[in-house]
Amino acid sequence: MISISELHNLKGKNALVTGGAGLLGSQISEVLAEHGANIIIASRNVESCEKKCEELEANFPDLNTCALFLDLTNEESITSCINNSVNKFGDIDILVTCAWSGKKNSWDSITNEDWNYDIEICLNGIFRLIKAATASLRESKGVILNIGSMYGHVAPDYRLYEGVPQDNPPSYGVAKAGIIQLTKYLASFLAKDGIRVNCISPGPFPFDHVINQFPEFKQRLCDKNPMGRLGKPHEIKGAALLLCSDASSFMTGENICIDGGWTVW
């Protein structure tokens, strides 16, 4: 009998979590660390990555961590990040693509430059990152976890954003829809190499400072959602662990919505 704890065991696995010190990325770093994986956290803010690594090591004394610089708009930076990860711990077993950056734009305010930047970070950069990591993932027969969004499935309701500076740009949903499709494509074309590729699409997980400053925005989000509330960052951990471990060893090309039911109506 294979126990669920065995299936969740990541001891000896090497996980590269891009954006792994952010709101949701930090939760993924934590759950992978809790189950034994070595953690490499990468983003443009190396200081925040280092701080998260220190926190993880304090909570999990046997853990090996590393903070690396990563700029998804720069091919040399991506190559360097992958090479440094492999040199530090060995081949990558788990790649989590959680890095994101962009402006809060509406259709009327977004510029060509804004659009290009968002697509560059949220879609093109993820393509380049996975492309650069594929050789290592082939060696490890590893797994890729992409981060989509509920707005990769449905359009934002414009009424939610009236009177608050939290507009949702068209580029964001377009990029996230692309990530979901890229997940399916890669699941097909990398299956022969033993690489599994899945995606999670978070729903409403706004930053605390946003909902504290704009309680009316929080209420609109809650009223819109079948479960009547916002997501708590730790609620992403279960699905992330599932898809990064052998608990999902017969799953690939899947996208799991963690959205409180947002996309069911």
Backbone angles phi, psi at 43, to 5 degrees: -170, 180
Write the DSSP assignment of 171-232 as a string of letters.
HHHHHHHHHHHHHHHHHHHHGGGT-EEEEEEE-----HHHHHH-HHHHHHHHHHSTTSSPPP
Q: Is 260 left (phi over 0), alpha (psi -120 to 50) or beta?
A: left
- Alpha carbon distances (Å) from 253 to 3, 124, 179, 230, 236: 24, 19, 11, 27, 18
- Point out the catalytic residue in the list 117, 151, 161, 172: 172
> Would residue 151 show up in a list of annotated catalytic residues for this protein?
no
Q: Largest alpha-carbon pair distance within the chain?
A: 58
User: What is the distance between the alpha carbons of residues 223 and 216, in angstroms, rounded to a whole number?
Assistant: 10
User: What is the distance between the alpha carbons of residues 35 and 38, in angstroms, rounded to a whole number?
Assistant: 10
Catalytic residue IDs: 172
